[in-house]
Structure 1
């Protein structure tokens, strides 16, 4: 029996000039990637313009924001922008939601983030369904009869979360869950069981919810160059997510040292990250390294892999190397997955 290859997508930061997104998306489509996501990190460009630019330039690949943040953007706006992307891409959109990080820097300190996310899902679902049923939530509400003026349809939902409660929420409502900044095979089984809590509550199968692992990716024929750049890129994310992985025991003093270097604005903050830690939170190295890392995730049961920015010393060159020398090496999981993705 032929096992379908796990979808491999790219994640782009919204820090590029006009036209660059279209060029990279066309390159990704030509190379055989399944989709392109853009991030919505705090203080970067809004994601909808890059997404529309890519939608106009491509025909096949799936597009979406991973993830929109309902603490900084009202769920009405998220639903409206997702519907716009879906229309301009001919039905290729997905919609990602997450709490996000670094919100304290703009004076936001969510006290009940999961209830907030749940209500955001409720409002977005009601608007995209288009039936005018309304939604009555604690944090957000939608009056009966309120509809988007433009046509809309339900759009596949992704929830970004590392924690058990966020995973349970995804198990209840989402088509996918993404662990941003994760390249650790051990988190796949952990996340599947966390999904099961919400899936059981909603009468769904946890196995039908896709688990997506995505992380900083740097590929280069010179593996030393790639791993050095990956260390610099991943340091700020490791500060946020490393303690969320219950399967990892970090070396004593590692995170305080990284945090002190980040506070001091030092470019060498990531140089203290050991190889074995780097490989759990980033894809880094030459084509052999990246292909081996990705295959370990596939064999552990991942449903989608997202190679995140910056991809290489030069982004287009890195994407081309991933497409030409990593994608062809990846095989299906060692045992057929029940997940149709």
Structure 2
């Protein structure tokens, strides 16, 4: 097993004040390395929980996974990243992705890869203090434009969320990490490595400079059957999307259509019951602590830099985070020795 791996916790931003600090302290006390906050549509903006967690911790890295350049302008992203990095004493990272479901709030997403690349360029020019200006196809900075406050670091790490070849190539060119969200499939690690390669070669750097992060729905509980049943319901809601993005997944004929129909009819339990065990394990971490740790070990052995355990974590959020922190993490650390 690789020793150079990190363990991450991904939180949905749907909690009351104080809950984020409590969960982040549990994570930090038990050896979790990174706490991310999702940037999903119509949830709390990630900056609120991230700043709360920054004040409650001293070691874990913190960042949004992910912001997008269509609902937030690059100068505002730069400002929020600078604020988080200052509040955390230099522990922030920036996650960028094209964004999902933005049509529901009337936002078009023209030239998404160009927008992502130029957003990153503008953010890091601002943080780095460049005043030379920038003229892109989507975004620009007039010469002399600069932040009017000091920043903690000129370049906090950049993560790009992507599955596809073009998004991965962009990450290979400009990012420190790439996150494949909704996957727990070890076979995707090599797929993503090859998709990173063209961009890394264009930038003149080794492809291994870009860390691969895989994260997915996680449900851990001493009652493994109940945990896997909950995970099936969660996965059913996005299986049709992610299964079509994974070229290594073998999906039984007609299954996705049947799952879609059950979800559309509001029968989430019935939709989840259609998902076989082997397919569930490609798109979620679920079961007892031993089962979840075994899944994560397979990803680590395949070469991921970070495994990210996503919401809902357990049959309750607090219970799941505690089991991950106190049982799953020690198993993974012990196996790496």
TM-score by length of 2: 0.95
Q: Are the counterparts in 2 of residues 295 and 331 from structure 1 also a CA contact under 8 Å?
A: no
Query: What SS is found at the alignment partner of 2:43?
Result: coil
**Counterparts of 1:197-216 in structure 2 under 5 Å?**
197-216=198-217
Query: What SS is found at the alignment partner of 1:330?
Result: helix
* Cα distance per residue 1:109-163 (max 9 Å; x no partner): 4232111111111111111111223221111111121111221221110000000
Give distance in 2, aligned partners of 1:3 and 1:97.
27
Partner of residue 161, structure 1: 162
Give distance in 2, aligned partners of 1:127 and 1:55.
22
**Counterparts of 1:1-341 in structure 2 under 5 Å?**
4-152=3-151, 153-268=154-269, 269-330=271-332
Give distance in 1, aligned partners of 2:3 and 2:264.
45
Q: Are the counterparts in 1 of residues 225 and 287 from structure 2 also a CA contact under 8 Å?
A: yes
Give distance in 1, aligned partners of 2:259 and 2:73.
34
Unaligned runs of 5+ in 1: 337-341
Q: Does the C-alpha gap of structure 1 residues 14 and 205 become closer, same or farther in structure 2, counting only changes over 3 Å?
A: same
Give distance in 2, aligned partners of 1:116 and 1:270.
36
Q: CA deviation at 1:187?
A: 0.5
Bigger mean CA deviation after superposition, 313-322 or 210-219: 313-322
Unaligned runs of 5+ in 2: none
Q: Are the counterparts in 1 of residues 4 and 305 from structure 2 also a CA contact under 8 Å?
A: no
Query: What SS is found at the alignment partner of 1:123?
Result: helix
Query: What SS is found at the alignment partner of 2:90?
Result: coil
Aligned residue pairs, count: 334
Give distance in 1, aligned partners of 2:90 and 2:238.
32
Partner of residue 339, structure 1: none
Give the RMSD, CA atoms, in angstroms: 1.7
Query: What SS is found at the alignment partner of 1:273?
Result: coil
